[in-house]
Amino acid sequence: MPKLIETMSTAIDALLPELETIYKDLHQHPELSMQEVRTAGIVADYVEKLGYDVTRKVGVTGVVALLHNGDGPTVMLRADMDALPMAEATGLPYASTVKAKDEDGFEVGVAHSCGHDLHVTWLLGVARLMAEHRDAWRGTLMAVFQPGEEVGRGARSMLDEGMTTRFPKPDVILGQHVMVGAAGTIGYRSGTILSAGDSLKVKLFGRGSHGSQPQTSIDPVIMAASTTLRLQTIVSREISPRDSAVLTIGSLQAGTKENIIPDDATLKLNMRTYDEDVREYMLGAIRRICCAECAASNAPREPEFTTLSSYPLTVNDTAVTERLRDAFETQFGERAYETQPAAASEDFSLFGREWDVPYSFWFIGSTDPETFRNALAAKKLNEIPSNHSPKFAPVLDPTLRTGLEAMLCAAGVWLDQHDKSL
């Protein structure tokens, strides 16, 4: 067991009930991206009382907390705070019933269906334990509570407000994410661990008319349908089978009534890639196909493209991850394993890219172990509610403890004063 966690083991046991209370409160009071006012206030007040130097409203609602504890490395730990615009269907006694207005003014359900409430809770726990056991470590701990990960704007907004000049440059940047997997497990990986993600809105223009007189129209519904089908051939016919890529059209909106041919139609699509060249090719292919289908339909103008979000690849530093692997295996034994890349995307790596600092990101399993084993044996893992499902519900025991210990373990690789062999 790493010395830092061994030193804090009794305190961890005592702290878990408080963290569970914090988690359930955050879960019941989720906030949409870039609207995390209550959450940011809770975390800022909590760490400020522990003696951290706290800066609020970094990137709208972001919080940066620094604890200086003598000479040593600076370690940045990051947690994202935002929830999703969806209703929760877990049936939990602490399920969210919150509704809020999104950026377009529509009322939506709000739920922590991606687990960011756990991320915040873990980091608050680490912040408290490190503050109360300063004799066990040396250096500077930087706790970053980030807004807007779900819309790809949070990290960028913090960086655009001068984060790299206002705060000390970290020696390493670390983060973790709750995922489907047996609770109590840690999945790490050197190199690419998360895909790049790009979301686009494409507006197609036609000419509206009465449904009984299609010859007087340029039908954007037909245009959108043809475009949707053709876009699927990018992955199936233009990308090598040796490269992984996903393209999904998640929204097709057109018209208001069955006998009215509308003036326009809008597609919203998302793509995931693991290689920058493949990413650039697909972005070009999307534009080419959309323009060609509009031209084939004699559209009055070219389509209009809007970037909704863009996430870079998350590529873990090899040297950092090897040190983490050794620490995780020491602490968790066989529960720490090398994972495969996930098709999910994150803006976490922007901090490392902007600061030119090595970083690593890993996964914490959150599924009841027996449920996971049975699903694995039956080859039904896809039936377990995953992140962004309205039924996503991490089991708190042992997920809460595991995430807390994993983040402590990782920070200790650089800050622990007892065990320099890690």
Cα distances (Å, whole numbers) of residue 157 to 117, 160, 245:
20, 5, 28
Query: Which residues are bridge partners to 361 per DSSP?
Result: 175
Q: Is 414 exposed, middle or buried (0-12, 13-18, 19+ CB in 10 A)?
A: buried
> Which residues participate in catalysis according to the annotation?
80, 150
Annotated binding site: 114, 116, 150, 177
* Residues contributing to the annotated binding site for Mn(2+): 114, 116, 150, 177
Residue with tokens 């709750």: 178
How far apart are the C-alpha atoms of 67 and 47, rounded to whole Å? 9
Report d(CA 367, CA 207) in Å as an integer.
51
Angle, CA of 87, 89 and 93, to the nearest 5°? 110
Judged by phi (left if over 0) then psi (alpha if -120 to 50, else beta), residue 4 lies in: alpha
